[in-house]
Amino acid sequence: MFKKILIANRGEIAVRVLRACHEMGIASVVVYSEVDRAALHVRKADEAYPIGAAAASESYLNIPKILEVAKRSGADAIHPGYGFLSENAKFAQTCADAGVKFIGPTAAAMEALGSKTRARQAMEKAGVPFVPGTSRGVESFNEAEQVAARIGYPVMLKAAAGGGGKGMRLVHAPEQLKSSLEAARSEAERSFGDSEVYIEKAIVNPRHIEMQVLADEHGNTVYLGERECSLQRRHQKVLEEAPSPIVDSEMRRRMGETSVRVAQAANYTNAGTVEFLVDQAKNFYFLEMNTRLQVEHPVTELITGLDLVHLQIRIAAGEKLPFRQDDVRVRGHAIECRIYAEDPDNNYFPSPGKITLLQEPSGPGVRIDSGMYEGWTVPIDYDPLLAKLIGYGSDRAQAIARVTRALNECFVGGIKTNISLFRRILRDADFCAAKLDTGFLDRMLKRPEDKPADSKAAEVAAIAAGLFAALGSTEAAGSGSRAAEKANSNWKSASRREALR
Amino acid sequence: MLYDITIDGKKYRLDLNRADGRWSCRLDGREFEIDAILTRPDVLSLRIGDRAYEVKSERVANDLHLWVGSTCFAVEVRDPRSLRGRTRAGDDHGPRKITAPMPGKVVRLLVHEGDEVEPGSGVAVVEAMKMQNEIKSPKKGTIQKILVSKGAAVNAGDVLAIVE
């Protein structure tokens, strides 16, 4: 087993991984950029190394600097988290060459699955169903025209080299194809340095359902249940749940076995996720495989009772999977909300700043994976994910009740967050009825919010405003008794003023 | 003690007094039975009759926000007998600074000195993280001064303009 693991990441995932290290008796080494000196992952680690300026290219994406820290600290393994270098085949290879174990798949497996077109070709060979379209980038507009006519509109143009919605265009009719193709190509070139674009049939109102897989380095591959990730805004996930409300055990078995075939076709090891689009008839189509641990892994952990990061570390250390497929049970329901420092009233613009007050929920069925703390100043330089708030229950209704209650207990003062978005989602009738698809959030956000005017609450606020002023809220008074003393002195000065009137 | 309180444009008059350890409270002439403690300077545990509320306060930019449950109220408090007013920020009379909420670059100025603005009028556009953010005037008034030019780099809290 490893003695020391370097976590090449930051924020909530770095904290989550170092917690696993501490639970397993492994020393944790972290790195931090100039603006992250006060970050939670630095405070909680065993060793911490500065690695340069805020810009990711100078710090968290800087392969030589990270390997240098590995060498100096004597770390025998590196966990890349998600994002940053987690799906960078060059990084995985550099670690292997330096004799430091990369906790994840091999560079070869990443490369096989990293290019969307190469992944589709491999899936074709493995007999995995995928969305009709091209397995290679289209060479010319004529080819694009022919393919689109064959598979039928609407079609989706996609960048082979990337994701996150970049280089993607939905084309409804033949007249739009030419300009959309040009736009998709140039966006792909700008975002990924690769203008290769392929075409897929666009599925109407699809659900995005993904399957967690885990493979050891001895040939054992299992699936651990699916996650429903249809609630997205601009192709970014916002809320995820497990299991999917529309997947029964039979569909889970078919999707799971398909996912295992995908992983095996690429000689995949460690944790990964196979993404599918599911149409309204419950046909599922392979979309891509993510060769890393994902943000939303907690919902799978809660319904299976497994710790995925512990398992990642064990697999990387050469251990066999301690269970078989038959041992995997899915039980209960979990819902995760991604809490971002964003302003919902200003188009979700990032909202950095100092957290002046933090109340975090706890109690039954609540899990919070957080990178923030009270008094911390959220830096502007990175993705503003603050925390993941997960509610777990014995069924979906209870999970909704738990996560709603947890959100009501959660307060982040001093900055704007997207917490109000989740309250709106969890109240929505279609959400509660599990009528989900990838267009859900855009449709909900287009509808005007019906906020009942609460005059009673306004009166409470008015009374509270006076009390804050009277009891003295602008100074950092601290304890209740000191507040009372201050109150007395305010009353003294008030009565003096009265006497002078 | 008397307070003039404005919440979302609505004005309230609050009369709070403490005698023998008991509060008396009159809001717009109506009597309320209250009991309150600060559990920390920005968190108030308030009982009105038998109902219990936890009210949290925060300052965002220059504004005071009070949260009752999950509802946020922008609040201005004035002690009518105070010579300078309890919260300068809440004062509708007097110049207000319009500041950049985050570091970025001024890509466009939407007003000139001397222009009349309404609450919510756009004053400048600041770009950060590849997104453009329109900075708005908090009050009705005249743009007294513009302190940045197009293309200027700004930090969080830097004053962009003053509206009077």
Tokens of A340: 């971002």
Angle at A221 between CA A338 and CA A8, to 5 degrees: 45
Spell out the residues 6+ positions from residue A495 whose beta carbon is closer than 8 angstroms to its own: none
d(Cα A399, Cα A332) in Å, to the nearest integer? 8
Q: How many other CB atoms are there within 10 angstroms of residue B132's CB atom?
A: 14
Strands A27-32 and A4-7, bridge-based pairing: parallel
d(Cα A95, Cα A197) in Å, to the nearest integer? 31
The per-residue pLDDT for range A174-186, each reduced to its tens digit, is 999 999 999 999 9
Q: Which of A190, A380, A463, A485 would best serve as a mutation to test chain B binding (most B beta carbons within 10 A)? A: A463
Q: Is the pLDDT of residue A493 over 70?
A: no
Question: Token pair 């908090």 is at which residue?
Answer: B138
Which residue in B18, B56, B129 is closest to A357 by CB distance? B56
What pLDDT, on a 0 to 100 scale, did the predictor assign at position A114? 84
The per-residue pLDDT for range A100-119, each reduced to its tens digit, is 999 999 999 999 998 878 88
Share of chain A above pLDDT 70, in %: 93
| Mean predicted confidence (pLDDT) in A466-492 | 56
Residues 52-91 of B with CB under 8 A from A: 53, 55-60, 64, 66-71, 73, 75, 77, 79, 81, 86
Residue A479: pLDDT band (50, 70, 90) is very low
What pLDDT, on a 0 to 100 scale, did the predictor assign at position B25? 96
Rounded (10°) angle between helices A11-23 and A308-316: 70
Which residue in B5, B73, B128 is closest to A466 by CB distance? B5
Tell me if residue A292 is catalytic. yes
Cβ of B3 within 8 Å of Cβ of A465? The answer is yes
The per-residue pLDDT for range B25-37, each reduced to its tens digit, is 999 999 999 999 9
* B46 lies within 8 A of chain A by CB: yes
What pLDDT, on a 0 to 100 scale, did the predictor assign at position B85? 45
- Return the higher-pLDDT residue of A342 and A133: A342
CATH topology of domain A4-103: Rossmann fold (3.40.50)
CATH node for A132-201 = 3.30.1490.20
Residues 16-45 of B with CB under 8 A from A: 16, 18, 25, 27, 32, 34, 36-44
Residue A481: pLDDT band (50, 70, 90) is very low
Closest chain B CA to residue A408: B70
What pLDDT, on a 0 to 100 scale, did the predictor assign at position A486? 47
Cβ of A467 within 8 Å of Cβ of B16? The answer is yes
Q: How many other CB atoms are there within 10 angstroms of residue B38's CB atom?
A: 25
* A500 lies within 8 A of chain B by CB: no
- What's chain B's average pLDDT? 85
- Can you give the residue ranges of every domain in chain A? 4-103, 132-201, 458-500
Q: Are residues A8 and A78 in contact, defined by beta-carbon separation less than 8 angstroms?
A: yes
d(Cα A381, Cα A383) in Å, to the nearest integer? 7
d(Cα A69, Cα A86) in Å, to the nearest integer? 17
List the beta bridge partners of residue A47.
A29
Residue B139: pLDDT band (50, 70, 90) is confident
Q: Is the pLDDT of residue B19 over 90?
A: no
Residue A477: pLDDT band (50, 70, 90) is very low
Q: Is the pLDDT of residue A162 over 80?
A: no
* A375 lies within 8 A of chain B by CB: no
Cβ of B36 within 8 Å of Cβ of A346? The answer is no
| Mean predicted confidence (pLDDT) in A189-209 | 89
Separation of first and last alpha carbons in chain A: 78
* CATH numbers and ranges of domains, chain B: 2-90 (3.30.700.30), 96-163 (2.40.50.100)
What 8-state DSSP symbol labels residue A321?
A: P
Tokens of B159: 């004053």
d(Cα B72, Cα A460) in Å, to the nearest integer? 12
Strand order in the sheet with B116-117: B96-99, B159-163, B141-146, B116-117
The per-residue pLDDT for range A290-348, each reduced to its tens digit, is 999 999 999 999 999 999 999 999 999 999 999 999 999 999 999 999 999 999 888 88
Distance from CA of B145 to the nearest CA of A (A): 25
What pLDDT, on a 0 to 100 scale, did the predictor assign at position A431? 98
The per-residue pLDDT for range A403-442, each reduced to its tens digit, is 999 999 999 999 999 999 999 999 999 999 999 999 999 9
Cα distances (angstroms) measured from residue A424 to each of A328, A335, A385, A432, A445: 34, 15, 19, 11, 9
d(Cα B114, Cα A413) in Å, to the nearest integer? 35
